[in-house]
Amino acid sequence: MPNMCKWVPILRRNCKMGSRFLTLVTVLTCWYAAWAPAEEVIIDSSAVLETLDKSHPRLMLKDKDLESLKKLYAKDKVLQKCLKDVLEQADADVEKPMLTYRKRGPRLLRVSRACLHRIYALSLAWRWTGEDKYASKAVDNMLAVCAFKDWNPSHFLDTAEMSHAVGLGYDWLYSYLDAGTRERIKAGLIKNGLEPGLRAYKKAWWSKSEYNWNQVCNGGLIVGALAIAESDPTYAEQIIPAAVRSLPRALASYGPDGAWGEGPGYWSYATHYTAYGLAALETALGTDFELLQIKGLAESGNFPIYMTGPTGLFLNFADCGERSSRRPMPCLFWLAHVYNNSFFAKAEHAELAKSTARPQHVIWYMPAASNKSASKDLDRYFRGPVEAAVLRSAWDDPEALFVGVKAGYNQVNHSHLDLGNFELDALGVRWVRDLGSDNYNLPGYWDDKRGGKRWSYYRLNSKSHSIPLLGGEDQDPFATSSFIKFESKESSAFVLVDLTSAYKEFAQKVTRGVRMLRGRRAVLVQDEFELEKPCELVWPMTTDAKIHIRKDRHASLTLKGKELTARILTPVDAQFTVESAEQKPPQKTNKGVSRLVVRLPRAEGNVRVAILLSPLWKDGDVSSVQLKPLKEW
């Protein structure tokens, strides 16, 4: 088990960049000693705007890039589809009532996001078609939010997303706006977005965060500040250096393989704002301040691709929404551009074939590569503060067998107590599932210390997850775990994960093995325990399926007309039982969800639990396998 870093060594080096000197401060923000260092980039605020493109539009999509897209549009059917989708969204936005100040709980975020979606679609529609109705509606929405009393800086994501929306609209519609309207919008952006932003950098926790808040808050403020940088440079001169210094802390979290500890849902949020911030810097200032070189970001597009099971559902860990699934992610086009990676673009083209495009697909559009891009591995292991491994029998087959396992660190932002949790797809059905997040407004939802209120909630604690339970207790909230072996062969693959630290009150050693075997037609989950004291040992899995307990340690699971058999291979005297995963409000109720359970009331010494999960394929299932100790795997 690697040691956690408690300290932060700082190295400094000078780096010449253009006409300016930068100082790079290397901060080891790793959770584990092997981690790549994050680099804080310190830039001279008086020089930051030396390279500013003073024309408008200068953010994300300049007029010359728009002209190139229009040429491509004439012959590219996918781009034609993307633009059609955007115009449909813009036409719907024209009909919508004006945005109003309406908080839900402590958040104004829905209004900020609605504004962002409208401004992107309406402004792009105007730039593409020249039709005034789009620009006029965008301006009305901007004036409405600029007249709000605030953009809710106490929940700064709301402020940052609104600054992004208004900054982009101001920049893109600059030639449409009269002088008086420009001043009103600018005044709102400064008062409600950029001034609170400057104050936030002095004290806000998110500027030192390693997770999504960092990219969202920095990215939104970068866009807002650069939009008005020629007339009001003081904001960009302070915000850009602060943001460029702050961002590496979060960007280092992608290292080394591109995984994101807050799960695939937050990967999307964090990476889109990484794209907005860095694209705005590049288009307005002509530099990304070498942030693109931070290790892991170049690989990060692999994460949502590999985390998607054949059902389209993600390996759903941390506070991913319930049944969170692969959706269109235009940041894959941006990653494809900046890293010249046609594999990411190809994956997004496949998604666009079945989903509605967003304006950012047009902005960052990348044609499908005519040459062959890299093929996908069946199995992939992502290292990082949170680790994940996915095994599958095939790509491009919705009925394929898929199993994903997560390890890592129970204190990662948005984490559940779920080290070793697994989810399983087969026959087009998700058989073993994570329940997802609960309501963020539940009392104490963020109280994640030992004994914290967060861990009283079923979806967040260990009792809802498909992981061992010892003595009826949750995993240690400060536990870490990591994969100790990963093997990928043609007809089988496996991972071994060391879970000892999660159960140290009861066990000297706990190891989970998950193996796809017999021509990748079944999955074996084998757990081995060296118990320190006698305790109840529970092996559970969470499922939407109807469960019928059969004799001889079998259970038949049926779901959507498909069938999967669970078999207890050992202990030979154990039995399956069925329990309910339902809860009472105000927690989410998990209606109809069950737990298939093996309950050993008094386990002691060395114990092995091995469960074979066999989908019923058209030509039968796998009914037995030879067991081997995990140390021989």
Binding site for Zn ion (CB under 5 A): 416, 418, 434
Nearer to Zn ion, 360 or 410 (CB): 410
User: Whole-angstrom Cα distance, residue 512 to residue 496?
Assistant: 6
Instruction: Report, in Å, the least distance between residue 421 CB and Zn ion.
Output: 6
Q: Give me the least distance between CB of 437 and Zn ion, in Å please.
A: 8
Measured from the CB atom, is 553 or 588 closer to Zn ion? 588
**In this complex, which beta carbon is closest to Zn ion, that of residue 387 or of residue 434?**
434
Nearest CA-CA partner of 474 in 417, 420, 529: 417
Which CB sits closer to Zn ion, 339 or 445?
A: 445
Cβ proximity to Zn ion, 383 vs 416, nearer residue:
416
Residues 6+ apart with CB under 8 A from 426: 399, 400, 401, 402, 562, 564, 615
Radius of gyration of the chain (CA): 26
Closest CA to 631 of 485, 419, 470: 485
Q: DSSP 3-state assignment of 325?
A: strand
What is the nearest approach in angstroms of Zn ion to the Cβ of residue 441? 18
In the complex with Zn ion, which residue's Cβ is closer, 257 or 319? 319
Residue whose pair of structure tokens reads 């449909």 in the numeric block: 88
Least CB distance from residue 311 to Zn ion, whole Å? 17
Q: How far is the CB of 352 from Zn ion (least distance, A)?
A: 30
The Cα angle at residue 330 between residues 325 and 333, in degrees rounded to 5: 125
Query: Whole-number minimum distance, CB 413 to Zn ion, in Å?
Result: 14
Nearest CB to Zn ion, comparing residues 263 and 513: 263
Nearest CA among 171, 169, 247 for reference residue 211: 247
In this structure, are residues 496 and 420 in contact, taking their beta carbons and an 8 Å threshold? no
Name the minimum Å distance from CB 446 to Zn ion. Answer: 16
Other C-beta atoms lying within 10 Å of the C-beta of residue 626: 6
Smallest separation, CB 436 to Zn ion (Å): 7
- Quickly tell me which residue has 């491994």 as its tokens: 389
Of the pair 315, 362, the CB lying nearest Zn ion is at 315
Q: Which is nearer to Zn ion, 348 or 434 (CB)?
A: 434
Q: Cα separation of 420 and 484, whole Å?
A: 12
Contacts 24+ apart (CB under 8 A), 128-137: 128/66, 128/70, 128/83, 128/86, 128/87, 129/87, 133/94, 134/90, 134/94, 135/173, 135/176, 137/93, 137/94
Instruction: State the minimum distance, in angstroms, from the CB of residue 266 to Zn ion.
Output: 13
Secondary structure of 551-606 as H, E, C letters: CCCEEEEEECCEEEEEEEEECCCCCEEEEECCCCCCCCCCCCCEEEEEEEEEECCE
Tell me whether residue 287 or residue 462 sits nearer to Zn ion (CB atom): 462
- The minimum distance between CB 416 and Zn ion, in angstroms, equals 4
Q: Cis link prior to 586 (omega < 30° from 0)?
A: yes
For 290-315, the DSSP string reads TGGGSTTTTTTTHHHHHTB-TTSBB-
**Cα angle at 556 between 550 and 557, to 5 degrees?**
150
Min dist CB 531 to Zn ion, Å, is 25
Smallest distance, Å, CB 501 to Zn ion? 18
Looking at the Cβ atoms of 271 and 415, the one nearer to Zn ion is 415
Cα distance between the two ends of the chain: 19
φ, ψ of residue 514 in degrees (nearest 5) = -125, 120
Token couple for 246: 């702050």
Which of 171, 434 has the CB closer to Zn ion? 434
Three-state DSSP class for 234? Answer: helix
Minimum separation from the CB atom of position 142 to Zn ion (A) = 39
Task: State the residue number with the nearest CB to Zn ion.
Answer: 416
CB 524 within 8 A of CB 492: no
Nearer to Zn ion, 358 or 416 (CB): 416
Bridge partner list, 603: 535
Shortest Cβ 544–Zn ion spacing (Å)? 15
**Nearest C-alpha neighbor of 229 from the set 59, 102, 376, 86:** 59
Q: Whose Cβ is closer to Zn ion: residue 58's or residue 454's?
A: 454
Contact 58, 286 (CB under 8 A): no
